[in-house]
Structure 1
Amino acid sequence: MAEKKEIKEISVMDLPGVGAATAEKLKEAGYDSMLAIAVASPGELVELAGFTEATARKVIQASRNELKMGFESGEDLLKKRESILKLTTGSSALNTLLGGGVETGAITEFFGEFGSGKSSIAHQLAVTVQMPIEKGGMGGTAVWLDSESTFRPERIKQIASAYGLEALEVLRNIKVARCFNSDHQVLLAEKVEDLITKDKLPIKLVIVDSLMSHFRADFSGRGQLADRQQKINKHMHTLLRLATTYNVAIYVTNQVMAKPDTFFGDPTVAIGGHVLAHACLAPNTLLQLSDGTIKPIADCYDYNELVCVKLREGMLIASNKFDHFFINTNAEKIYSIDAGYKIESSPEHRFFKLSENCEIEESTTKELKIGDFVACAKRISISGKNQKLPKVSIEKIFKLTDDGKNLVYKKINDSNLTRKEFCKQLYVTPRQLRRILNQNYPTKEENILVFSDKLGMGMEQIAMQVQTNKHKEIAIPEYFTPAICQILGYFAGDGCFEDYSLRFRDQRLDVLMHYKALFKQEFNLETNIRKIKGKNCFNLDANSKSIKRLFELVDKNLITYMSKLPNEHIAAFIKGFADAEGFVDKKRPALFIGQKHELFLRCMQMLLLRIGVRSTLSKYKSSSKQEFYNLLFIGRDLVDFANKISLTADDKKQTLEKWIEHNKHIKYNRESIPISREYLKNLLLEAGIMYSKALKPRPKEYKYVSLRNLNKVIDAIEKQGNLSEETKSKVKFIKTLINGDIEWRKVRDIKQLPNKEPLYDIAVPGQENYIANGFIVHNSTYRVYLRKGKKGTRVAKIIDAPHLPESEAIFIVTEQGIKDA
């Protein structure tokens, strides 16, 4: 304690050669105490305080001399260690192993394989540090640097209640910071000192869980090993300085790596730590946010509410907050799954599939097989809200009246300025000014404002607004309208930007005439249509700099704008795009929407789900061997598209209507649902109904039934009466499958691909799923494998979340915390 007093009496200003300016530099860099300077390295002061190396060494040596930081006797050290505190772990056996508990003034490292209980001990320490010293605590608070999303307040509340502490007060005394990369982790460790010195918090425990995960992710390969070790050493030095300077306990966790020569025992050893245990998706995977926004998962770290499915409550669309965001930079391979929707994921990512026993099962990507039926969104119920269009100024031009010209002439003469000097106050050259005054040329509004200001008169007194082919009286609405969305969709397919205008090209004159009318209706803009010489097509030109600027602003975030709008607007946008890129097959009932950009069509698939229209994405090669993609609509999907969206072109619309009639006659709703005939046969027998009374016998190749026949089976069973509870439950489940917001798509193709990009995942507590590229996927944070151990113990292996009470170890974990086995 005497040492602390000595440190306080000596200030940085007392150091030889340190003046006010140097002291201020040290303070700004975080070195506001003698001991902080004494234990620093010259490199740190050079980097952080801007010193030369010679000055840094001089200041460090002076501080060490003042503090007499030389050799000490063992007796002196023993006396100093009397101030060391021991923090209980809750287990007497573990306390004994540590010599009484986790001690202050040092770094205590717990390392072990994934799920061995490291985070459980961290939760325990975060509570016990707040207990009085006589009860094994330190009477202080804790800081948790969370690099793997392991902190859980629910667990803190459990342990606090068991120790008779006020749970909310305990939570208030734990400062948690989420680390997103190694640089962020290092920075947060350095900020802990500010919490102690500036905020005066009684911090007695710093937890880093885990120490190495971000360093392994940010520094990969032997070539970066030296840089990684140097950075880790600096990080450990910062933690050690906290421990020694402020008598704080530092608890860090670390993982182990598997030995390739291990042939016996449990082979499930985590490699690369907890971050690798997360199942992850490719960065361009599209997520559906609850406000309608469609975003790639890599850009969703700052959004907190996603669309998910209530699997236990009618399989209906809902929304829920996600609470953690993960990045995996070490996935060397991924799988590409094609089920009409396409997605790329790590081998461990989980999907939902429907088994032959009519049960929903989870399956990792690497376990999926071609022919499996996976859960996808049938529709996404989001109403959306109208959005404001970006603000764009409309350029207006004016001509000076005769009186205005005379007044300007007089003003120039009275001011004794030359025309060149006068023009410096305007946005024109002398030549342009001569044309404005002598040849009645129009000029911009800002020039008229300068004239009126100089003359002390209103604009209307000296000029009048005029229109030219370039400058027309247009109107830009404040909000998006369905018609504007349709134009934007058409532009996305067949439009392009010219220097001062928009240009559309199409073979069908009737389509261009329709969009010409929409421009006049929405913007009061007269557009021009002309035949292209030597080609069987036409151009539509919308000549307006303001309209072009508006489209440029919207185009930068086109899908974001569209996805937030009401469904009426979305349907109009898709209609416009289909007018440009859609093709109705004349030989079979099918509609194709083609595009080179796969990502854009995947966005369109998500938008189509908003209005309850399904589609199938396929990849093709043209005759020139160029790759392109199609959205395909057949059967019920074709009819839904025609009824909810439709097309503008007369010939396409007529062909579409012909196929709708065709589908009605062939009962287009004969879509299969993956419930086997064998399962339904047994269900009918359970209800006391002969199979042939409800379904026509079919050959073995007819494995599944149509939706129409499935409804017949359900009706027959419900009319039977006197059903067992088990049968009722099965019927209820099938009805949920039929009426829910989920459909089951057949996996058409699976490919394993090399990967060099980071992968991403999120945690959605509660529903444990979210919608990604149309698939319903399981978030991978809450899974645990349990088995009974010997003598009443439990052996728990957490697969994806190390924060849960039980972990890979032999000990008893109760509501009271960790106890001896």
Structure 2
Amino acid sequence: MPQKKGSGDAYQEPKKRPETIEDLGGVGPATAEKLRELGYHTIESLATATINELVPAGISEKQAAKIISQARESISIEFIHADELVKMRQNVARLTTGSKTIDELLGGGLETQTITEFYGQYGVGKSILCHQLCVNVQLPVDRGGLEGGALYIDTEQTFRPEWIVRISKHLGLDPDKVAQNIIYSEAYNSDHQILLLDKADQIIKENNIRLIIVDSLTAHFRSEYLGREMLAERQQKLNKHMHRLTRLARVFNTVAVVTNQVMARPDAFFTIAVEAAGGHIVAHTCLHPDTLVQLADGSIEKISRVHNPSKLMSVDLKQTLQTEGGRCEGVWKTELPEVLRINAGFEVRASPNHRFFKLNGLDVIEVHAKDLKVGDYLACIRRLDIEGTPQRILKYEQNKCTPIELSPNLSQMLGYLLGCGKRVGGDIVLFDKNLSVLNSYRRKISETFNLNCGISRRSGKYFLRIESGEATDLLKKLSCEWDQIIPKSPRECVASFIKGFADARGYVSKSLRLIHKEKNILEILQLLMLRFTVKSSIHRIKNMWSLHISEAMSLNNFIEKIGLTDEGKVRRLIERTKNIKVNSDVIPVRKEILEDLARYFGVTFHKLAKPVGNRLMERLQLAEYLRRVKSSPNWERAPREVVDNVMKLERLVESPLGWERVKSIVREPSDSPVYDISVSPHANFIANGLLVHNSHTRVFLRRTANSPIRIARLVSSPYLPEGERLFKITENGIEDVDEKEYSGRR
């Protein structure tokens, strides 16, 4: 081997990058041919494949894993791993639509590495916009282009070369050269449409394709898969098709555009009366209908009951990392063949493409459910600041002894009734083994209803009977409506309700457990406790469910802000809390990041409290770390980049966001329709305690009466606020329109 000058080490030639799939180890001519038959023509397509997708080529799982690993090593890593999304964002480019106003609406143009959907009724200009993009993508970067070609998959015979010629001439481009850079194919049916995209990777690579268009996405699927019995198969194929398009957009850093038809929504009163066809497979993100969503007024609703214009709790992930109000802009319902059941302290059932949030360095990034693995930490809500409002429980005052407004005493009685109460004829009976507990509730009943109730004893239990007709009628009414009333009530009423339930169903062992046979009751309690910074988890115990509070800080908060009537339980709980050494309120910031900052500011890192598992630090430890950093003499002269990192860390520490470790992920058949909601302005909402994302970028196009002017409305986006912009269609393509022109035509 030749020697490198000035060095005694042997010089080694750099390893040659594989150019074709045959260059990968273990891929011979026969295997390569089978892989191509499956649609894997390039290194990039293999890098984004899964093991199960390659096994049909007649290779073992071990060999498939090796091929994928080699392919990933040979291309840019930014396009592969979900935890590198921040680096991917640095490579994102934007393509102009030809309209400055629409570009402004979309944050500067259409992004690469993602799908943008344009939907609307016939004649609104979806296909003309696609023609415009085919020309624009060939413009130089300084004119808003990407200096590349376009791949156009036509499913409705809408492509017209005449439009390409007119738009090209208007932009000063050679129509013949522009046409040569547009790769066109007509899809004759849904299977052909899927096949075209499966075979597209080699074409994209060889022709420098920077724009992929499918016009329209759902036309063939809707005409071929008719009836409810074929819906699941249609949605499964459409999901795989969209997944493939997403892969191509990410691997080749291209813009992906789909157009979509619309269908009428007869149930729409406060929102757009049409919706995009294809269900929410097209928008990627769906949750089970039983998923609980936190509303801004304190209400906790199933996602299937949320509607426009419901106000929801959201989080400003761009700046403050604090909870803020959001507004539901739309609700979508569809059917999926399967969902993922994800347990991260909170449990949620989501589509594989639903997006959650995790930390990458000091930045909060998105991650698809299908890319999660056990051990990842997901963003959840640890603290909810909801004050609530007084709740009127009777329309009219019946007598002076019957309250018309919910009080803390009545809330506590209601909580106990839900846990250890029953109806006996027309009466209500509360029971407990502890006489002092029932005596406490007898006093509350006397104060609230001016009743003197008797207590009896049998079989080792005490029974408190409420016999008054008006009192029992009110308690029965509230026991049916508690999930609508309690969450909106003032904090003291919510705390009293939880206390009553804990008095009835609370057990102290190594921690505090609330046990009940109905899981949905415990799920609502789990969200209510977040208002007092009490974190819990729910587990199955034989034929019952247990809400488990085991973290030291959460137990202390429960004792101080909620409490228990049984003083013996309180004493035992305080003793148990003293023995808990580890607080699980960790923030998953890597130790290396903290050590780098510590060295710069001269902070002795090892003198801080020991990180959990020698890897992660708790919130209180990080707060002390920040105090030392900001009191360092180097703080005032620190460079901007270092200060920014410290401020990011401070926002994480002060944020109500918590971080829960994924304990299990189970793939299971979907047993019902699934839902998603579009939320503005922050594009996220709280679902079963976890922070989740709403849909991808969707733009609704509609026309004005007897006019070439169109309106583009941004319906949903991962990061952009809602809005509308005007544009017009002329013989030269897409152009801007000013308000005066629009006003003159109205």
Q: TM-score, normalised by structure 2?
A: 0.59
Residue 724 of structure 1 deviates from its aligned partner by 1.2
| Per-residue CA distance 1:493-536 (angstroms, 9 max, x = gap) | 0001121110111111111111111100100111111011xx11
User: Which residue identity is paired with 1:488?
Assistant: L
The 1:690/1:614 distance shift into structure 2, 3 A limit, reads closer
Q: Distance in 1 between matches of 2:358 and 2:737?
A: 39
Is residue 358–residue 364 contact of structure 2 (8 Å, CA) maintained in 1? yes
Q: 1:273 to 1:611 in 2, by over 3 A?
A: same
1:40-439 matches, within 5 Å, as 119=120, 123-124=124-125, 219-221=227-229, 273=278, 275-278=280-283, 279-301=285-307, 303-329=309-335, 331-355=336-360, 357-391=361-395
- Gaps spanning 5+ residues in structure 1: where? 1-89, 92-113, 129-207, 229-254, 395-472, 785-797
The correspondence for 2:656, drawn from 719, 730, 741, is 741
Residues 288, 675 of structure 2: 8 Å contact kept: yes
Alpha-carbon deviation of 1:117? 5.0
Deviation at 1:777, TM superposition (A): 0.6
Asked if 2 retains the 8 angstrom alpha-carbon contact of 1:351 and 1:374, the reply is: yes
2:686 alignment partner in structure 1: 771
Q: Is the alpha carbon distance of 1:368 and 1:277 closer, same or farther for their aligned partners in structure 2, counting shifts above 3 Å?
A: same
After TM superposition, give the deviation of residue 661 of structure 1 in Å.
4.9
Query: What's the offset of the Cα at 1:633?
Result: 3.3
Residue 391 of structure 1: CA displacement? 4.9
Q: Output the CA distance in 1 between the equivalents of 2:242 and 2:412.
A: 60
1:617 is matched with which residue? Answer: 538
How much does 1:384 deviate? 0.7
Q: 1:717 aligns with which of 625, 629, 641?
A: 629
Paired residues of 2:314 and 2:684 also in contact (CA < 8 A) = yes
Which residue of structure 2 aligns with residue 707 of structure 1?
A: 619
Give the distance between the partners of 2:461 and 2:226, measured in 1 at CA.
54
The verdict on how the C-alpha distance between 1:616 and 1:224 changes in structure 2, with shifts beyond 3 A counting, is closer
CA contact (8 A) 2:117 2:257 kept: no
Instruction: Decide which structure has the larger Cα Rg and report it.
Output: 1
The CA RMSD over aligned residues, in Å, is 4.2
Deviation at 1:393, TM superposition (A): 8.4
Correspondent of 1:680 among 594, 601, 615: 594
Aligned to 2:429: 503
After TM superposition, give the deviation of residue 601 of structure 1 in Å: 0.7
Listed one character per residue, the Cα deviations across residues 23-76 of structure 1 (whole Å, up to 9, x for unaligned) are: xxxxxxxxxxxxxxxxxxxxxxxxxxxxxxxxxxxxxxxxxxxxxxxxxxxxxx
Identity of aligned residues (%): 25
| 1:598 matches 2:519 | yes
Task: Verify: 1:646 aligned to 2:652, yes or no.
Answer: no
Q: Give, in angstroms, the shift of residue 611 of structure 1.
A: 2.6
In structure 1, C-alpha distance between the alignment counterparts of 2:330 and 2:594, rounded to whole Å: 42
Q: C-alpha separation between the residues in 2 aligned to 1:218 and 1:536?
A: 63
Distance 2:551 2:330 in 1: 39
Which whole-Å CA distance do the structure 2 matches of 1:638 and 1:501 have between them?
35
1:66-115 deviations in Å (ceiling 9; x for gaps): xxxxxxxxxxxxxxxxxxxxxxxx99xxxxxxxxxxxxxxxxxxxxxx85
Letter aligned with residue 343 of structure 2: D
Please say if residues 764 and 779 of structure 1, whose CA atoms lie closer than 8 Å, have aligned partners that are also in contact: yes
Shift in Å, 1:367: 0.8
AA partner of residue 656 (structure 1): L
Take 1:494 and 1:673, find their aligned partners in 2: how far apart are those partners?
A: 38
Q: 1:335 is matched by which residue type in structure 2?
A: L
| 1:169 alignment counterpart | none
Distance 2:220 2:396 in 1: 50
Q: How many residues align?
A: 488
Q: Secondary structure at the match of 2:533?
A: coil
In structure 2, distance between residues paired with 1:505 and 1:259: 57
Q: State the one-letter code of the partner of 1:705.
A: M
| Cα deviation digits, residues 517-576 of structure 1 (max 9, x gap) | 1100100111111011xx111111000222222122212221110011000000000000
Q: Against the structure 1 CA distance between its residues 813 and 726, is the aligned structure 2 distance closer, same or farther, given a 3 Å change threshold?
A: farther
Tell me if structure 2 keeps the 8 A contact 1:503–1:539.
Answer: yes
Q: Which residue of 2 aligns with 1:453?
A: none
**Shift in Å, 1:269:** 10
The residue type equivalent to 1:609 in the other structure is: L
Does residue 689 (structure 1) correspond to residue 602 (structure 2)? The answer is yes
Letter of the 1:339 counterpart: A
TM-score by length of 1: 0.54
Contact 1:474 1:524 in 2 (8 A): no
Residue 483 of structure 1 is matched in structure 2 by: 409
- What are the superposed Cα offsets for residues 470-509 of structure 1, whole Å, 9 maximum, x if unpaired? xxx9810121100000000000000011211101111111
Structure 2 runs not aligned, ≥5 long: 1-96, 99-114, 130-215, 261-276, 700-715, 727-731, 739-746
- The answer as to whether partners of 1:531 and 1:538 remain within 8 angstroms in 2 is yes
| Alpha carbons of structure 1 residues 125 and 813: separation in structure 2 relative to 1, 3 Å | closer
Q: 2:559 & 2:231 partners in 1: Cα distance?
A: 58
Task: Determine helix, strand or coil for the equivalent of 1:764.
Answer: strand
Cα separation, partners in 2 of 1:695 and 1:548, compared to 1, 3 Å? closer
Residue 634, structure 1, aligned to residue 634, structure 2:
no
Q: CA 1:816 to 1:371, structure 2 compared with 1: closer, same or farther past 3 Å?
A: farther
Contact 1:684 1:690 in 2 (8 A): yes
Matched, 1:576 2:500: yes
**Alignment-derived partner of residue 59 in structure 1:** none
SS in 2 for 1:327: strand
Instruction: Go from structure 1 to structure 2 and tell me whether the alpha carbon gap of 1:767 and 1:553 turns closer, same or farther (over 3 Å shift).
Output: same
Deviation at 1:304, TM superposition (A): 1.6
Give the equivalent residue in structure 2 for 1:48.
Answer: none
- 1:265, distance to aligned residue in structure 2 (A): 8.9
Q: Counterpart of 1:525?
A: 451
Task: Tell me: CA distance 1:694–1:224, structure 2 relative to 1, closer, same or farther (3 Å).
Answer: closer
SS where residue 728 of structure 1 aligns? helix
1:604 Cα deviation after fit: 0.3
CA distance in 1, matches of 2:357, 2:610: 30
Deviation at 1:692, TM superposition (A): 4.7
Shift in alpha-carbon separation, 1:217–1:342, aligned structure 2, 3 A? farther
Match for 2:576 among 650, 659, 662?
A: 659
Superposed CA deviations along residues 646-681 of structure 1, whole A, max 9, x for unmatched, are 100122122123335556xx5x65743211212211
Give the letter aligned to residue 295 of structure 1.
E
Deviation at 1:359, TM superposition (A): 2.1
SS across alignment from 2:589 = strand
